[in-house]
Amino acid sequence: MKTHSNNLPIVTFNILTLLSDFLKLTKFRLSISVVFSSVAGYLLAVDQIKTSILVGLFFGGFAMVGASNAFNQWIEKEKDALMDRTKNRPLPAGRMNNLTALTIASLLSLAGIFILNNINSKTALFGALSVFIYTCVYTPLKSVTPLSVFVGAFPGAIPFMLGWVAATGSFGVEPGVLFMIQFFWQFPHFWAIGWMMDDDYKRAGFKMLPTGKMDRATAFQIVFYTLWTIIISIIPYTQYSGELTLSFGAFICLILIGFYFLYHALKLMQKKSKEAARKLMYASITYISFLQIIYVLDKWI
């Protein structure tokens, strides 16, 4: 749509651009992948699917994750402008102003809490807690200490267990295991990203790698947390995780994808290159995606 007057320039309102900027502000693809974790957690907890809860979990979860990402970009606007990876986001590029971004983030937060509270209060509480930690603790710490990755792993681990809490209304050993899987998985995943983007992060003043350097000590920690992720992932096969269990076939599948994940972590320690870090990042995404699929298929088939 175009408007025109004698003294005013033509203004073009591009709906597609506005939609694109909204998707970038909320990191749509990342948000959907996080919501997938919540849906997987829900499917693991139930024997009969309630569509209303599943739909609420999807939209409420997306709203909360989208709000976290929008608040994060609102806070880090100036730092994002310094990095090649983020300088074209809506705020640093000047396509969106601070008030618009803050309004979107706030409305998404309120909508998310409202939707999740309609499922049960514990689901809404955990959802709100994840937004608070990510926005008010993790984001400011990124430029202060590498421990920010540890803090950020808490809200990042909530979605997988959130589905179980949405289904049962309680927190126990089962959602605890799901939480630990995604908690430990985040260290090799985000340190691989930090390794790849080290120069970019340093320009913005972010401290992401555990030692601050792309060195053997950082690579060793990546391997260490990869091993822990694999070990925790097979706990349900031991029958010590309540109603969350795994068959022998699922156990073997998890071991196989675990070896794939570990192989790329070891290759990073050997080569200490950005290319090896990139391959590890993709391996980590493959691992957590297949893990959730294996868990769900093992439950329902």
Question: Is the pLDDT confidence value at 96 over 50?
Answer: yes
Amino acid sitting at position 168: T
Question: Is the pLDDT confidence value at 167 over 50?
Answer: yes
Question: Is the pLDDT confidence value at 9 over 80?
Answer: no
| Distance from C-alpha of 40 to C-alpha of 230, rounded to nearest angstrom | 18
Question: Is the pLDDT confidence value at 149 over 50?
Answer: yes
- Ranges of each domain in the chain: 19-170, 172-301
Q: What per-residue confidence (pLDDT) applies to 118?
A: 96
For 188, how many CA atoms within 13 A lie in the half-sphere containing its CB? 37
The predicted-structure confidence for 27-77, as pLDDT tens digits, reads as follows 999 999 999 999 999 999 999 999 999 999 999 999 999 999 999 999 999
The predicted-structure confidence for 204-224, as pLDDT tens digits, reads as follows 999 899 998 999 999 999 999
Q: For the chain, give the mean pLDDT.
A: 93
Question: Is the pLDDT confidence value at 239 over 60?
Answer: yes
User: pLDDT band at residue 13, thresholds of 50, 70 and 90?
Assistant: low
- Cβ atoms of 84 and 200 closer than 8 Å: yes
Helix (H) or strand (E) holding 208: none
- Tell me, rounded to whole angstroms, the distance of Cα 156 from its chain centroid: 5
Question: Is the pLDDT confidence value at 6 over 90?
Answer: no
Average pLDDT over residues 167-176: 94
Pick the CATH number of 19-170 from 1.10.10.10, 1.10.357.140, 3.40.50.970, 1.10.760.10: 1.10.357.140
Average pLDDT over residues 150-175: 95
- Give the pTM: 0.90
